[in-house]
Amino acid sequence: MNKNLKILLVGLQASSVDFEKWPELSVEKLEKAFADIIEALTRGGYTAKWCLTDTGETADQKLTESIASFHPDVVVVGAGVRTDPDHYLLFEKIINIIHKRAPQASIAFNTNPFDTIEAIKRWC
């Protein structure tokens, strides 16, 4: 495991998630997962930061600012953005912003909030 890397985690704000589509999650579970992921990455020697966005209005600005101020080595795009067909335009926008603003960064994908660390390890 390559430590001392900066990990930018991109996902939806809990308030933007349609929990009818994700019945196994709730605001509380998701926010706990967000905190747990940062804690686990920090314990593992990584520097990690969340970029939690809305579903489109300010997502591009927020991600652009996060990349510019953080300079990530790996960017993880969460399943809530990536796998929901209602968010395919947001996902496309996010990938293009990462490609343009952080071309040196690896891009990783998780399948749920609980396998984020495994996704990062694939690219470190």
Is residue 1 one of the residues assigned to a domain?
no
Is the residue at 89 inside a domain? Answer: yes
Q: Is 56 left (phi over 0), alpha (psi -120 to 50) or beta?
A: left
User: For residue 21, what is the domain's CATH number?
Assistant: 3.40.50
Q: Is residue 74, in this structure, part of any structural domain at all?
A: yes
Specify the number of domains making up the chain.
1
Q: Is the pTM above the cut of 0.85?
A: yes
Range of the domain at 52: 6-121
In the 8-state DSSP scheme, what is residue 55?
S
Distance CA 72, CA 34 (A): 18
Residue 63 lies inside a defined structural domain of this protein: yes
Q: pLDDT tens digits for the chain (124 residues)?
A: 566 899 999 999 999 999 999 898 899 999 999 999 999 999 989 999 999 999 988 999 999 999 999 999 999 999 889 999 999 999 999 999 999 999 999 999 998 877 888 999 999 8
Is there a domain that residue 17 lies in? yes
Phi, psi of 102 (to 5 degrees): -140, 60
Cα–Cα distance measured from residue 109 to residue 90, given in angstroms and rounded to the nearest whole number: 15
Helix 59-70 to helix 88-101 angle (10° resolution) is 30
The number of C-alpha atoms within 13 Å of 57 and in the hemisphere containing its C-beta is: 3
Residues 6+ apart with CB under 8 A from 118: 110
